[in-house]
Amino acid sequence: MSLTGLLVGLLNIIIVAVVLVLVGAVVEWVLGALGWPPPEIVRRLYMAVVALVALILFVRLLLGLPFHVIQYG
């Protein structure tokens, strides 16, 4: 694996993690505006799921297995 491929893969993993955290923040904001803020345990579980997804993507990158966030055709 080339250094460029590794850097692009890491950048993709970071982008996926940031998007997932942003989605969680928007959902939390909407629920808070509706008067139903999620409990702390739900926030921690969501962050654990985001970390697990990032770890799986990182391991697949190191093993050379493809991962596709968006699949075409």
| Six token digits for residue 43 | 């926030």
Question: What's the chain's Rg over C-alpha atoms?
Answer: 15
9-43 pLDDT per residue, tens: 899 999 999 999 999 999 999 999 999 999 999 99
Percent of the chain beyond pLDDT 90? 67
CA-based max dimension of the chain: 50
DSSP state of 69: S
Whether the pLDDT of residue 72 is over 70: the answer is no
Average pLDDT, the chain: 90
Residue 47: per-residue pLDDT: 96
| pLDDT of 9 | 87
Tally of CA atoms within 13 A in the half-sphere of 71 that contains its CB? 4
The dihedral built from the CA positions of residue 24, 29, 30 and 34, taken in this order, carries a sign that is positive
